[in-house]
A and B are shown apart, each in its own frame.
Chain A
Amino acid sequence: MRKNLNVIAAYSIMMGLIIFVGIFQSWNIALSIFNLCLISAVMTMGANIQWGYAGLINFGIMGFTALGGLAAVLISVDPVQEAWSAGGFNIIFSLLLIIAMVLAVRYILKNYKKSKNRTYIVAAIIILGIVILRFISEPGIEAIEGVDPAKTGFLGGLGLPIIFSWIVGAFFAGGLAFVIGKVALGLRADYLAIATLLISEIVIAIIKHEDWLTRGVKNVIGLKRPAPYEVNLQQTDWFISLVEKFNSSKLNLITDLTERQSALNQLVIEGSSVFVKLCYSGLFLVVVIILLILTQKALYSPWGRMMRAIRDNEEAANAMGKNVVKQHLLIFVLGSAIVGIAGAMLVTQDGLFTPGSYRPLRYTFLIWVMVIIGGSGNNFGAILGGFVVWFLWIEAAPIGLYLVNLTTAGLDDTHFLKVHLIESVPYFRFLMMGVGLLVIMRYRPKGILPEKIEIK
């Protein structure tokens, strides 16, 4: 108990801050911050597994997040029958062709010795394959995108409950990580960072522009929810009586019946959106806790000790007979899969998929700031980092506004400097993140909750 005191203290302060926002701003804001904190926590756990456990830099978090989001779309949206009948055959045939191409290249690479001829043959297969692929897929894609483009114009999904996408998202992201890992894991640390950053940009480019699959920048809106809808809640009897019960003391003060009814209606509308957010919080909390238990178990297992050994001294671990390459690949896939879950959760909560919103600053660098500030190698630290950084990211604007008003109190309200500063308040969050990261890296390089290894 004693040695975990700082963990408990840090988390209580964090919870206190969120409750503070709930009381002074609104419970709606507090809960939406809390939900996104939970999603960020899942992302940081994924990044922490890669960086904290194994020392792998993955700057492609944005790509894995987007793939998770894509999974949410492909699982939950109802299939578009006309699109399937218009171009489904071409698409399936193209997929088979890609599989055949990959198998052929693999076969050649495996069974023939490295030579110039082999390189030429592989190149020829790939180029020929791409040409044929374009001839087959193009009419199909055009047909699919032509089906009611204002509403669909894509193949749609499977029409399953969106919760399943959390698992599928993990598989998508893990699959991509497997390919990237095979290609790039041999690179030295900072090159791996650059390579993953660029690969994630390629992934986003594909998601943005392959309209037949993702609807691209036209966005997919109105995804099915795992939680009830506000409008339905507002008409359900048990919910109204629940709200009435909660606020009975406040309502009893109002004597006039019509006034009381309108006050109750207002409370029900507010309460419904809080209730929906609470449902999400519950779901997300379950995921975070399951992942936390699993990652903690892994960290203190023989496997976790091996990973740390590999991280701290690759050559020594190799000499002890550990397969460094294989373990790196494994942990890269696992970490990315967790990020994929977070991506699917994010889209589930928003109810919409907007490929244009995936930007490296928000989805890669910010997550890294979270991991570093929270404490890499320590799961509790990484989660705390997700909470602290997301909280500051959202609350930076109000804090910045307060600071600007404080420092320019002597100036006239129309003074150009004051007006300009107030206009640029949203950008104080960048400043805060940057300074926070620099200060932590300088004076507490292991983060708020540093890694603690105890042999159990």
Chain B
Amino acid sequence: MNEYILQVKNLKTWFRLDTGTLKAVDDVTFSLKRNETIGIIGESGCGKSVTAHSILRTVQNPGKVLGGEILYDDGSRLADLVNYKPDSREMRHLRGREISMIFQEPMASLAPVYTIGAQMMEAVMVHQDKKDKMAAKDACMEMLRAVGMPDPEQKFNSYPHQMSGGQCQRAMIALAMVNRPRILIADEPTTALDVTVQAQITDLMKRFQKEYNMSIIYITHDMGVIAEMADTIAVMYLGRVVESGSVKAIFQNPLHPYTRGLLKSMPVLGNKTGEKLNAIEGNVPVPLDPPEECGFCSRCPNRTPECGAGIPSLKEVEPGHLVRCFHV
């Protein structure tokens, strides 16, 4: 068995628009070990959600996965998901059963006209050979109890609008977990929630990871959450991974100027000095027909003429710590 359950190599997902080519994901590389959590961090527009959708092959038109490899090891064989058609049998078998996803904004991601129970039952029945409704319902109820849903019997027959944001997110996790996936992709699962609920949800995910031997891809822009959740981190900027490594390496020895900027720009609890934050100048550019240069060079404090000359490659600086910068 391979040490890595999922390896993404040089993934490219582009959107061909009338106005040009939007290179939402342009050369993303990372690998996920079994029973570990990788945190993908970046700001809006950096391509982290498109990366998640590329893995599940649910990228919306006109977006297309145009290159790279997504190697998934199910324990017996290695499959390259890029070779499957999005609506192929193989992909539908994987999606929701072996690889599941929790979406941002739980309120908006659950179907409003179906009960929580109906949505969970569908997920179970689709992946079940004998269509056994009773067994499916038992599985759903067990999962609703496991996620700590208050009053699960009643919530099984409730619609999303009858529940709070935290309850919707629990339902969403139950929905994603009901088939016991090997990989859970969580796309900003707690961004819309209060800190107290966020703490409950992240604790819940950690517990599930242990109980069901699950690997997690945790997508967020919150450095605090990632420090608690992740084993390794991939920092993304403008469709590329600019730095990746263990949590310790990224937090204690950040090497890419963007990672450093991100870490310095957030207020740290207990460090009230009255001084200004070190904001990163400028705005995130839109990767529409981007020039052949380092994506961060327009905002980088250490920029030199060399940075505009080409795209730096991802170099291994120390074992497991990769950086995409000319000056490292």
A and B associate: no
